[in-house]
Amino acid sequence: MFKQIISVSLACVAVLLQPAARAADACTDLHPGRNPIATMSGGQKQDIDLVMPASFDPAKSVPLVIGLHPSGGTGATFDQDTGLSAAASAKGFATMFPDGGVKLPDGDGRYWNIPGVPLIGGGAVPKNARDDVRFIADAIDHLVKHSCVDARRVYVTGFSGGARMSSMVGCRLADRVAAVAPVAGLRAGRAAGPTFTSPDASDCVPSRPLTVLAIHGTDDPTNPFPGGGDSRWGYSVERAAARWASLDHCGAAPTPEKVSERVTRVRYGMCGASSEVVLYRIDAPRDQGGGHVWPGGQRDLATRTASVPAVNANGSSSPPPTLDATSLILEFFARH
């Protein structure tokens, strides 16, 4: 009898160890730095670059940060402007910077195919455009299965159009991501007509409470903080944060706290499943960091956003930093 118990116990241990062994075997071809990865989505081959941290060990799973570029940008330029992959690598995160599925008619810039949302200027998404929500889901599944990515620690951030896309990822793929951090583009589903001043409740129904960090300037001319009144942008950032707090079953009223002269942190507490909703509101004019920016970035990302000129009234190439969005987001992700 004793031998049988030992035999069964060893068999159970072997079963528990199998996933780790398979993960290590799948990762032996990876190395710190850039790793070209090919995956399938919608019957089409998709090429992505997975950047492994300097501390990468094939025997251990790694957390993943997915960075989504603004409308008119690319994954590569987004990384250059935010310094995200270098900062993430230093903290032990892998990173991925895919390109949106809608190519600009001229140039190399891309748009994200956000379900039910028109492109900048009101243009319709081409009918043959890649399903970007499905693409991101397929990419996550592939990297978890083949590239040592920890399924419990997948995070998504983005700027402007990439922030709207990362919000949609939170709505549709809460079973695959631990937290999202939209910068200058928090949404909670598309805007409901005819006034577009409220989120469409049926368009964002996450499968579980999801942690959300948002950063947004009150003088943003592209995605206005009080709302835009159209189908592309619509309701206010505060309505978006409040909707996420409702979806996360947060029981406490929002608590504002001044964290610097120009930054207010609004936190929703007592949320379900240990989630939280936090909004960093930059209370400043455009030339002081309250415009359409990734705070603390190497340059003003708005200059890479389609149809958006420089946002600084004084003509400078970079506003005075109000906070370091890259560091803040990575620290936030590390806690979840």
Q: Which carries the bigger pLDDT value, residue 136 or residue 23?
A: 136
The arrangement of strands across the sheet holding 255-258 comes to 33-41, 44-52, 94-96, 62-68, 149-159, 179-183, 211-217, 277-282, 263-268, 255-258
Same-domain check for residues 179 and 160: yes
- Model pLDDT, residue 129: 86
**CATH number of the domain bearing residue 211:** 3.40.50.1820
Same-domain check for residues 128 and 195: yes
Find residue 39's DSSP bridge partners. 46
- Model pLDDT, residue 193: 87
Percent of the chain at pLDDT above 90?
72
pLDDT at 289 over 50: yes
Same-domain check for residues 22 and 66: no
Same-domain check for residues 264 and 317: yes
Same-domain check for residues 176 and 236: yes
Provide the pLDDT confidence category of residue 302 given band limits of 50, 70 and 90: very low
- Model pLDDT, residue 322: 63
- Model pLDDT, residue 170: 98
**Residue 1 domain boundaries:** 1-27
Same-domain check for residues 72 and 106: yes
Same-domain check for residues 10 and 90: no
Which of 53-67, 100-114, 236-250 shows the lowest per-residue confidence on average (mean pLDDT)? 100-114
Contact 163, 311 (CB under 8 A): no
Provide the pLDDT confidence category of residue 4 given band limits of 50, 70 and 90: very low
- Model pLDDT, residue 313: 25
Provide the pLDDT confidence category of residue 197 given band limits of 50, 70 and 90: very high
Which of 25-29, 200-204, 235-239 shows the lowest per-residue confidence on average (mean pLDDT)? 25-29
The pLDDT tens digits of the residues spanning 65-101 come to: 999 999 999 999 999 999 999 999 999 999 999 999 9
Find residue 48's DSSP bridge partners. 37
Mean pLDDT of the chain: 86
Same-domain check for residues 280 and 190: yes
- Model pLDDT, residue 120: 75
Same-domain check for residues 22 and 105: no
d(CA 269, CA 251): 7
Does this model's pTM top 0.75? My answer is yes
HSE, CB side, 13 Å, CA atoms: give it for residue 97: 22
Q: Which carries the bigger pLDDT value, residue 50 or residue 42?
A: 50
Q: How many domains does the structure of the chain reveal?
A: 2
What's the full length of the chain, in residues?
Answer: 336
- Model pLDDT, residue 127: 84
Q: Tokens 């709505």 belong to which residue?
A: 171
d(CA 273, CA 250): 10
Same-domain check for residues 176 and 88: yes
The pLDDT tens digits of the residues spanning 106-153 come to: 777 899 998 888 777 777 778 888 999 999 999 999 999 999 999 999
- Model pLDDT, residue 187: 97
DSSP class of 253: P
